Each structure stands twice: as structure tokens, then as C-alpha cells.
Chain A
Amino acid sequence: MALLEIDDVRAGYGSGPDILNGVTIRIDEGRSACIVGPNGAGKSTTLKAVAGLVKVRSGEIRFDGDRIDGLRPDEILRRGVCFVPQDRSLFPDMTVRENLAMAGYSISSKGELQRRIDEALEMFPILAERRTQRARTMSGGQQQMLALARAWILRPRLLLVDEPTMGLAPQVVQEVFAVIQRFRDTGMSVMLVEHNVKEGLGCADWGYVLDLGRNGFDGPSESILANPSVRELYLGKSVARHTEKIL
């Protein structure tokens, strides 16, 4: 059963041109996908369209069989889709604790929210240490952990994560992937956009390569990097060379 179906979607910002020119993606319940592709391929826009932050101009997005394109972001979240954007979108002047509490905005039971916050602080010890610190004063890695902890509080069925390791130190990158893996282990579906192609695909069952807002190639994660023509064609020559080095 497909949890998420993106069907021939076109989308763009404001009155600008289409960034997505007919993207089709499908994720089954409990499965995960990684979207890769060169800059401007529409990877982030795809996630934003699912989250309701970018208007879908044509095509359909269905979650659990129901159409969600056209819904407000908060309505989409209530259905179980949580988005962790590239800029992490924290509340800079709120403390770690307050940021986590804001994540529970849609949770009406105070006891349940408290339980989830405690659980998140247990899962992310660095945040427990810094619970009274303002988000703006934390390092990039800590902020990313806070953004992921916020997602954990929401317990989504589908987690959308946009470039979670951008600008982070290599050791922190590993921690971020370990957290995403833990989320997957609970049965949560994850849709990941990641420039760190090898690690990103390693975190997913299926890989999608986008190019200029269109589907390029998709297949089991391991097949994406193994295919030299795909590397050359869709990841660009420099990326292909880079991935050769790291493989």
C-alpha cells in the first residue's frame, strides 16, 4: 500500500516558472526514499510541495490514499507528515525546551506532550544538557538535532528531511544519519534529500534521481550509484568523480 504518491506534479514559487515539471514518486508504508540530483533539480521543492509549503499547480499528491495537495501545512502535519527543512526552521529566541514544546502545538494532551518531550530529551542527551539554552546560540549540529527531536515528538508516519547534514562536521554527519536510521527502525517512512549521495542512499530503500524538475531514474538505492551512466548523466560529472572517490 502506497503511503505517499506524488503523481505528475508541477509546482513553483509565487508567480515564477515551474520548478517541478512532472515529478512522480511513490513511497510505501514503512519504506524510505532518498532523492538525489544536481542543484536546481527540484529536490527541496518536492519536499515542500508534499508539506504544503509550495503550491501544487497540477498533478496530485496523495497521502494514505487521500489527496493532500491544496491542504494547509498544519492540516498536512495533522495527517502525519512532518517536514524538517534545510534551514532547520527553529524558533531562535526560544529555548530548547520551548522549541520542543512548540513542536507539540498540535498535541492537545499536556501529559502526552510532556511524556514525549522527556522521551526526546532522553534520546538526545545533548539537548537535555542545553534545555534552557536559546536555539540561536547553538551550533549547527545541535540545531539539527533539535530539529530532528522536534520531528520525533510529532511521531509522523512520514518524515521529510531536507539536506540534514549540510554544513556539518563529518562526525556530526554520522550522528545525524544514525538518528534517521533510528527513526526508520520504528517503522517511520522517511523521504530524504541529501547531497551526501552515498550516505543518503544508504539510509533509504529506494533512490530517485531528479533532473530539471523531472524524474530521471529510480531504483533500489544500491543500484543508483552502481550505474555509471546514471552517475554521469544525473549526478553530473563532478559528482560522479566525487562518488567514485568515496565508493
Chain B
Amino acid sequence: MSQIVQLTILGILLGGVYAVMATGLTMVYGVMGIINLAHAGFMVIGAYISFEMFSRWGVDPFVSILVTGPALFVIGVVTYRLLFAPITENPRFGEMTVLVSFGLALVIEGLLGAGFTNIYHRSDVSYGTATWDLGAIFIPQGQVYGFAASLVMLGLLWAFLYLTKTGYAIRATMQNRSAAQIVGVNVDRVSTIAFGIGVGTAGAAGSLLSYLFTFFPGAHWQWIALLLSLIVVGGLGSMGGALVGGIGLAIVAAYVTDIFGPTWSQMTFYVALFIVLLVRPQGLFGKPLPA
């Protein structure tokens, strides 16, 4: 029994972090139809910034979110204006974004490799391996903090999307882009902001990544694969789906790890992806697909 509680707790804690990693990705898809394969690349940039701040000046990864979030927001805005805005009118925009963001991910990986080499890193924070022991159950402190920070970030994002005018415009554009234009939303501006926020959340998630996992320049490939399968399971463009998908799959992965060993943990996401695509192709919370 305690094992079940233990695994479920671990899954939930990790799932919250996955959710914050995936939210920006699914939002960017929802608003603009961009499948940003460089999303995890931006996350790794955030992780490096956070790691450098920690190892040079002892800045805690949570404090570094105040830098990684805004910095990556700015990088996101510039990236959107330079690479994506010029091709929005193209009828093959969706396909082009896959290629552009794939190229971008390679560039990010190359630049990080040149700057930081390919050595594995992890911010060695004091709470990284500390636990609270409740009888037979142990709760890793670092993951609890990471989960709490993820909830705060998701809460802030929710407040922004539901309580501000720009947030309303972003949601409206996600639901119906042409309708948003018709009621006077400058979708070009909204897209720029949404892309910035998407990349900003990736940066902030990078701060959590920096102490929860080891990372290196090429680490983004495994992350983007996991995040993409997660948002497809949740429903492309659905932020609620990213949260439910993130937590749900992380719990299942925790059980898989326990039963079959950590090697199989990643498989969980892809098996879930295959099952969802076969049974419910629009994902758990996605819009019905056109016939």
C-alpha cells in the first residue's frame, strides 16, 4: 500500500513539472499552429543560465526563474519576429514551422555545445537529494519545491490568460483565429506575445530542470519527444490537457519504472501516444478533428 502511495506522490510531483514544461508548447501550437521543436532547446538554455548563476554566484534555481523567464521571453519574441512572422502568410506555414524550429533546435544545441561543451551538468542544490521521511514513505524535497513552483507558474499563467485583456485575446485566438481578427484582435501582436510567453515558460521550466535532472546540450531531444507525446495525449492546444496529461503520464511512468526499471519509463509516453492516436486521435481534451 505504502508503495502505491509513494509512487503516486512521486508521479504527481514530477507531473507538475512536466505540465509547466509542456504548457508553453501546447499554447504556442494552439495560438499559431506552430509545432515548436526548439521548445526543449529553450528549456535547456534556461537550465544553463540557471546553472551558471548557481555555480558562479550561488543563486538558487528558484530565484533564477526571475531571470530565465524574462530572458527567454525576450529571446522568444525576437525569434518569432525574425523566423516565424515573415512566413505566417505562407499556405504551408504549419509544415514550415516544423522545419524552421527543427533547424533552430540544432542551432541552439550547437551554440550550447560550443559554449559549455557536452559535459553533463546539474545544479547541486542542498535540497536536491534531501527527503522528508513519513514512516515508510519518503518525499523528495527538491521535487516538492519544483512541483510548488510549477503550480505557482501555472496559476500565474492562468490568471494572465483569464483575467487580462491580452490573455482573453490569446484564448480567443486559440479558439478561432479568424474570429479573433474579426473582433479586432491584432493576431500578429498576440502571436508574438504568446510565442514569447511560451518560450518564457520554457526558460522558467529550465531553472527547475537544472537541479531536478542532469542536462547537456543534446538533452533537448529526449525532452521534446516526451513533451510532444504528452501534449498530443492531452490534446494539441489544450492547456488543461497538458496538465492532466503531464500528471497522469508521470504517475504511470513512476509505476512502470518501479515494475520494469527506469529504462522503460520513457516508453510510457510513447505507448500512451500510440494508444491515444488509435483510440482518440484528438487527444483527451483536444478539439474534434475535421472529418
Given contacts A14-B91, A90-B176, contact A102 B183 (CB under 8 A): yes
Q: Is the CB of B182 within 8 A of A93?
A: no
**Stretch among A29-37, A73-81, A122-130, A205-213 lining the B interface:** A73-81
CB distance from A76 to the nearest CB of B (A): 9
**What is the bound-complex CA distance between A84 and B178, given in angstroms?**
11
Q: How many residues belonging to B are interface residues under a CB distance threshold of 8 Å?
A: 21
Q: Is the CB of B184 within 8 A of A74?
A: yes
**What is the bound-complex CA distance between A220 and B185, given in angstroms?**
36
- The one of B89, B91, B184 in contact with A105, judged by C-beta atoms closer than 8 angstroms, is B184
- The one of A14, A78, A83, A94 in contact with B182, judged by C-beta atoms closer than 8 angstroms, is A83
Q: Which of A143-165 contact B (CB under 8 A)?
A: 150, 154
Q: Does A141 have its Cβ within 8 Å of any Cβ on chain B?
A: no
Cβ contacts B158-175/A at 8 Å (1 or 0 each):
000000010011011001
**What is the bound-complex CA distance between A13 and B91, given in angstroms?**
9
- The one of B168, B176, B185 in contact with A74, judged by C-beta atoms closer than 8 angstroms, is B185
Given contacts A91-B172, A102-B172, contact A53 B184 (CB under 8 A): no
Given contacts A74-B186, A106-B183, contact A94 B172 (CB under 8 A): yes
List A contacts of B172 (CB < 8 A). Answer: 91, 94, 102, 105
**What is the bound-complex CA distance between A52 and B179, given in angstroms?**
13
Q: Does A89 have its Cβ within 8 Å of any Cβ on chain B?
A: yes
Q: How many residues belonging to A are interface residues under a CB distance threshold of 8 Å?
A: 30
List B contacts of A82 (CB < 8 A). Answer: 182
Q: Is the CB of B188 within 8 A of A105?
A: no
Given contacts A91-B176, A91-B179, contact A77 B91 (CB under 8 A): no
Q: Is the CB of B183 within 8 A of A103?
A: yes
**What is the bound-complex CA distance between A154 and B184, given in angstroms?**
10
List A contacts of B2 (CB < 8 A). Answer: none
Q: Is the CB of B90 within 8 A of A150?
A: no
Q: Does B3 have its Cβ within 8 Å of any Cβ on chain A?
A: no
Given contacts A14-B91, A91-B172, contact A105 B178 (CB under 8 A): no
Q: Is the CB of A85 within 8 A of B178?
A: yes
CB distance from B235 to the nearest CB of A (A): 12
Which residue of chain A is the closest to B181 with respect to CB atoms? A73
Q: Is the CB of A93 within 8 A of B185?
A: no
Which residue of chain B is the closest to A160 with respect to CB atoms? B182
Q: Is the CB of A89 within 8 A of B178?
A: yes
Q: Does A51 have its Cβ within 8 Å of any Cβ on chain B?
A: yes
**What is the bound-complex CA distance between A73 and B178, given in angstroms?**
9
**What is the bound-complex CA distance between A94 and B185, given in angstroms?**
16
Q: Is the CB of A53 within 8 A of B168?
A: no
Given contacts A74-B181, A105-B169, A105-B185, contact A89 B91 (CB under 8 A): no
**What is the bound-complex CA distance between A24 and B90, given in angstroms?**
27
Q: Does A72 have its Cβ within 8 Å of any Cβ on chain B?
A: yes
Q: Does A15 have its Cβ within 8 Å of any Cβ on chain B?
A: yes
**What is the bound-complex CA distance between A82 and B184, given in angstroms?**
9
**What is the bound-complex CA distance between A16 and B90, given in angstroms?**
11
**What is the bound-complex CA distance between A67 and B6, given in angstroms?**
67
List B contacts of A102 (CB < 8 A). Answer: 168, 172, 180, 183
Q: Is the CB of A72 within 8 A of B185?
A: no
Q: Is the CB of B182 within 8 A of A85?
A: yes
CB distance from A220 to the nearest CB of B (A): 30
Q: Does A228 have its Cβ within 8 Å of any Cβ on chain B?
A: no
Given contacts A14-B90, A53-B181, A105-B168, contact A72 B176 (CB under 8 A): no
Q: Is the CB of B182 within 8 A of A77?
A: yes
Given contacts A93-B175, A94-B175, contact A105 B165 (CB under 8 A): yes
Q: Does A92 have its Cβ within 8 Å of any Cβ on chain B?
A: yes
CB distance from B70 to the nearest CB of A (A): 26
Q: Is the CB of B184 within 8 A of A77?
A: yes
- The one of A13, A53, A74 in contact with B178, judged by C-beta atoms closer than 8 angstroms, is A53
**What is the bound-complex CA distance between A154 and B182, given in angstroms?**
11
18 pairs of residues in contact across A and B, judged by CB atoms under 8 Å:
A13-B91, A51-B182, A53-B181, A74-B186, A77-B182, A89-B179, A90-B176, A90-B179, A91-B172, A91-B180, A92-B176, A93-B175, A94-B172, A101-B168, A105-B172, A105-B183, A106-B183, A150-B183
In the A-B complex, the 4 residue pairs with the closest CB atoms:
A89-B179, A106-B184, A14-B91, A73-B181
Given contacts A13-B91, A74-B185, 6 further A-B contacts (CB under 8 A): A14-B89, A74-B181, A85-B178, A94-B171, A103-B183, A106-B183
